[in-house]
Amino acid sequence: MTDGRCFTGCPAISGLGKQFALSRVRMRYLSPIMFAAFVAASVAACSSPTAPTDPTVVTMAPGQSTSVGALSVKFFGVTLDTRCPANALCIQAGDAYVALEASTLLGARDFELQLLNPTKKSTTHGSYSIELQEVSPYPFGTPINPADYRIKIRIANDIEPARQ
């Protein structure tokens, strides 16, 4: 006899009914577990610390530090400024060199960036890119006091981690 819930009274389909009833029971308990696992994976993917971020542009003075996400950057100062003064006629444009330190939980390292050299204008530290965009003031024939320098850097968490 069939009451719509169980097939035990009908000998022709009793085996099929039990199998169907067992699979419904498994699905009833398995579905919430799979749903919870899917939600947990989705949340973890959305809150990943390596997710790309919009770039941050920061102006810094010598001795100043800034943080973007897990990255901290310290500007030590301009180590060399050979840019052609605005009131002079030069054969070469020159360049400006700045000393910085980048640190994350993975460690810290010192490095130097150059304003006009495309191969040394930026660097990476972990999943972060750091790019030197501007050094001011621009020279105008008189020496610049080291404390008066300002740099503008672009920091972004935009580098995919290495897959292993």
Distance, in Å, from the CA atom of 113 to the CA atom of 12, rounded to the nearest integer, reads 82
Contact criterion met (CB below 8 Å) for 73 and 161 = no
Q: Give the Cα separation of 9 and 2 in Å (integer).
A: 6
Contact 69, 55 (CB under 8 A): no
Distance CA 51, CA 47 (A): 8
Q: Residue 148: its pLDDT value, please?
A: 97
126 in any annotated domain? yes
Q: Is residue 161 part of a domain?
A: no
98 in a domain, yes or no? yes
Residues 69 and 37 in one domain: no
Percent of residues in the chain assigned helix, strand, coil, to nearest 5: 25, 35, 40
Residue 6 CA, chain-centre distance (Å), reads: 56
Give the whole-angstrom CA distance, residue 67 versus residue 65.
Answer: 7
User: What whole-number distance in Å separates Cα of residue 15 and Cα of residue 17?
Assistant: 5
The number of folded domains in the chain is 2
**Are 30 and 36 a contacting pair, CB within 8 Å?**
no
| Same domain as 136, residue 81 | yes
**Confidence at residue 10, expressed as pLDDT on a 0 to 100 scale:** 47
The pLDDT of residue 54: 77
pLDDT tens digits, one per residue of 51-103 = 556 789 999 999 999 999 999 999 999 999 999 998 888 888 899 999 999 99
Residues 64, 112: one domain?
yes
Predicted confidence (pLDDT) per residue in 1-55, tens digit: 445 554 455 444 445 555 545 455 555 555 565 555 555 555 444 444 445 567 8
pTM: 0.65
Q: What is the pLDDT of residue 33?
A: 57
